[in-house]
Amino acid sequence: MKKLIVLAAAALLAAGANAAYKDGSYTGEGQGKSGPVKVQVTVKAGKIASVKVLEQKETPMIFKGAEAGVIPAIVKANGTKGVATVSGATLSSKGIIAATNAALAKAK
């Protein structure tokens, strides 16, 4: 009986660690190297369906690298936890991650 209770508690904790987000579109802003980065996060069925950059003032070629590396990782991870920045575009990556976090805070 004790093992069953421990297993049930572990399952509940694991489910809470991957808490679903409320469906909808949410915007957030984070600081990049050259200014604010604004994103729109779309949540469907409780998971991140997409992250779209709405505004940014970064160097275009550098930002494209950050965008191509960080955004798919955020969608795959269903959040920003464990998502690494892109080498050579660290501050742009951090701007995307911070903006996504700000948007996801509204989706909880």
What mean pLDDT comes out for the span 82-107? 98
Residue 52 lies in a domain: yes
SS3 at position 44: strand
Residue 4 lies in a domain: no
Distance between CA 40 and CA 30 in Å, rounded?
Answer: 12
Task: Judge whether 89 and 63 are in contact, CB under 8 Å.
Answer: yes
**∠ CA 6-108-69, rounded to 5°:** 95
Q: What is the DSSP letter of 84?
A: P
Domain residues for 71? 20-106
Residue 2 lies in a domain: no
pLDDT tens by residue, 5-55? 444 444 444 444 455 999 999 999 999 999 999 999 999 999 999 999 999
Q: Which two tokens stand for residue 71?
A: 């955004």
Distance between CA 15 and CA 12 in Å, rounded?
Answer: 5
Residue 1 lies in a domain: no
Residue 13 lies in a domain: no
Mean of the per-residue pLDDT values of the chain: 88
Domain total for the chain? 1
Residue 54 lies in a domain: yes
